[in-house]
Chain A
Amino acid sequence: MNKAQKYSTDGAEHNHKAAPMVEEITDFEVLEIAVRELAIEHGLFTAEDHRRFTEFAESVGPAGGSRLVAKIWTDPAFKARAMEDPVKACLEIGIDWSKPTGFGTPSDYTHLTILEDTPTLHHVVCCTLCSCYPRPLLGMSPEWYRTTNYRRRLVRWPRQILAEFGLILPPEVEVRVEDSNQKCRFIVLPVRPSGTENWTEEQLAEIVTRDCMIGVALPQPGRTADVHPVHKARRPVHSSHHEEAAR
């Protein structure tokens, strides 16, 4: 049997087993598509407007939050202003919560609270009702933040969830979960780690990763990325390609 026969799409010879594909779509995604299509049909915005806004929203990222934390760590006067009026202080690091929609970036609210950690108090944020997130500062939320698993369990078993992220805190540290269910958005201000004395704002910003500002990790020198362990499947599915290659 030659290759062309084997991979022809019409013959009985075709024995290629594709991995099972599961496509999941939630009711809310269906609703979003329906409303979006109606809006485009009625001329409220064009498909191109939607594409551009999606591109913008997905390009935000957590770098703004990292800069905010690093500046608070290095500049006491800025810290005072930021704790007093966080949204206004964001303007100083080039983040305007009211742009481009006029009510938040993107389609978010414009109340921000900075949750300051201390050596005996650790904050961690979730939203048990949906997935409220300070998007102007942190961009789009990570996939796990939106799962019901994280949202349900964080208010009930916070220390166990933190341990799953590799963060084990001693009992004398108060773990304070912030369920971000209304219009305030929350960002965690971690304790500046030791070993970072004399670091510049740019150096500090590098270790303030997204997970540190959600509260599922602590910043430390040398840790500049949120890497979660990937476990190999115990019984991986093999396709006929693999079987053939193994022969």
Chain B
Amino acid sequence: MKQSKTMEKSQNNIGVLEEHPLGMQPRFKVGDRVQVRDMPYFFYTRSQMWARGVVGTIAALTYSDLVPEDEAFNVDGRVEQYYIVRFRQKDLWPEYPFDNDTVQTESPERWLEPARNSE
């Protein structure tokens, strides 16, 4: 069933209500504090386990493109905004010995939510 872009709320492919429908204006901007969601997925995702639940900062908005989990099954239609997210190494691995070091990765919008307890 085709989803209307004007819907207030939409469902993702696992039936979870999303606060922010896909295909709208980007939800986040550069500098926003975000947290990688720890959602379940079927067989395929490009959201790494090492980033799940970790708080980072939006470093860039890259492009809008197909939902990776849809594309893996040749499902066309839903597009979403992608972001480069920057994490402090210390937030990923507490025993990491260098304060300044960082890791960046790309994340599609569905996998991000505003950081809880954001400073």
Chain A residues engaging chain B, CB cutoff 8 angstroms: 111, 113, 128-129, 155-156, 158-159, 171-184
Bound-state Cα–Cα, A71 to B82, Å: 29
Shortest distance in angstroms between B98's beta carbon and chain A's nearest beta carbon? Answer: 6
| Distance from B12 Cβ to chain A, minimum over Cβ atoms (Å) | 17
B103 and A181 contact, CB distance less than 8 A:
no
Residue of A at shortest CB range from B86?
A176
Q: Is the CB of B101 within 8 A of A175?
A: yes
Determine how close the nearest CB of chain A comes to the CB of B92; give it in whole angstroms: 8
Nearest chain A residue, comparing its CB with the CB of B46: A181
The answer for the CA separation of A181 and B51 in the assembled complex, in Å, is: 12
Say whether B103 contacts A179, CB under 8 Å. Answer: yes
B98 touching A175 by the CB < 8 A rule? yes
* Complexed CA–CA distance, A155 and B89 (Å): 9
The verdict on A156 contacting B84 (CB below 8 Å), with A174-B102, A175-B101, A182-B46 known, is no
A174: chain B residues at CB < 8 Å are: 100-102
Residue of B nearest to A182 (CB): B106
CA of A174 to CA of B103, assembled, Å = 10
| B104 and A176 within 8 A (CB) | yes
The tally of CB-CB contacts under 8 A between chains A and B is 67
7 closest A-B pairs by beta carbon, nearest first, are: A182-B106, A179-B105, A174-B100, A177-B103, A175-B101, A176-B102, A178-B104
With A113-B62, A128-B48 already in contact, the answer to whether A159 and B98 are too (CB < 8 A) is yes
In the complex the two chains form, is B63's CB within 8 Å of A155's CB? Answer: no
A159 to B102, CA, bound (A): 12
Q: In the complex, A156→B86 CA distance in Å? A: 14
Interface size class of chain B, counting residues whose CB lies under 8 Å from the partner chain: 20 to 34
Q: Is the CB of A111 within 8 A of B63?
A: yes
Closest chain B residue to A111 by CB distance?
B63
> Contact string, B67-79, partner A, CB cutoff 8 A, digits 1/0?
0100000000000
> Assuming A128-B50, A159-B98, A175-B101, what are 9 further A-B pairs, CB within 8 angstroms?
A129-B46, A155-B92, A175-B98, A178-B103, A181-B48, A181-B106, A182-B62, A182-B108, A183-B65
Determine how close the nearest CB of chain A comes to the CB of B66; give it in whole angstroms: 9
- The smallest C-beta distance from A175 to any residue of chain B, in angstroms, reads 5
A–B Cβ pairs within 8 angstroms, 23 of them: A113-B62, A113-B84, A128-B48, A155-B103, A156-B50, A172-B100, A174-B101, A175-B100, A175-B101, A175-B102, A176-B103, A177-B102, A178-B103, A178-B104, A179-B103, A181-B48, A182-B46, A182-B107, A183-B65, A183-B82, A184-B62, A184-B82, A184-B106
Residue B93 lies at the interface, judged by CB distance under 8 Å to chain A = yes
With both beta carbons as reference points, the residue of chain A lying nearest to B63 in the complex is identified as: A111
Residues of chain A contacted by B84 (CB below 8 angstroms): 113, 184
| B49 (CB) vs chain A CBs: closest residue | A128
Flag if B105 contacts A181 (CB, 8 Å): yes
Task: Point out the residues of chain B lying under 8 angstroms from A172, CB to CB.
Answer: 100
Bound Cα distance A189, B69 (Å):
32
For A122, give the chain B residue with the smallest CB separation: B101
Name the residue of chain A whose CB is nearest to the CB of B82.
A182
- Residues on A with C-beta less than 8 A from B105 are 178-181
Query: What residues on B are CB-neighbors of A113 within 8 Å?
Result: 60, 62, 84
Q: A177's closest neighbor in chain B, by CB?
A: B103
